[in-house]
Amino acid sequence: MDRADLTGWLAAYDAAWRTPGTEPLRTLFAEGATYQPAPFEPPLRGRPAIAAFWDAEREGPDEVFKLTSEIVAMESDTGVVRVEVVYGDPEVRRYRNLWIVTLDEAGSCTAFEEWPFFPGQARSAQ
């Protein structure tokens, strides 16, 4: 994996989050991928579990947000990305995040781990 591979995966992730349904997860995540939404939470295992999580977390196709990312480290098949997400226009919520992403030879994610930071907010927007 190189920076171009990870940059492409990040763009696909952003597009998938904005796309209704969970069909894009088929190319974004490997079949047995793990997805850990916070460092001390148990990881979700497999695309069906990841899809259920996405469906529960997203507000729908009209959700307004801006996602920016910067790759801060890479080693072999794993990258660390600094992410900032601003929801709403005007802004109603903001958070920063570190993502640890492991990609296989096909460019699918095999392990995804988030370290979210919500200044003064709970982890969930509920």
| pLDDT tens, residue by residue, 99-119 | 999 999 999 999 999 999 887
pLDDT at 31 over 90: yes
The model's pTM is: 0.89
For the chain, give every domain's residue range: 3-117
Phi, psi of 91, deg, nearest 5: -60, 130
Domain 3-117 sits in CATH 3.40.640.10: no
pLDDT at 94 over 80: yes
Contact 7, 14 (CB under 8 A): no
User: What sign does the CA torsion over 47, 37, 16, 108 have?
Assistant: negative
What are 60-74's pLDDT values in tens digits? 667 788 999 999 999
- Side-chain-side CA neighbours of residue 78 (13 Å): 8
pLDDT at 45 over 90: yes
Residue-level pLDDT at 118: 81
**17 or 29: which carries more pLDDT confidence?**
29
Neighbours of 36 (CB within 10 A): 17
Neighbours of 98 (CB within 10 A): 16
**50 or 60: which carries more pLDDT confidence?**
50
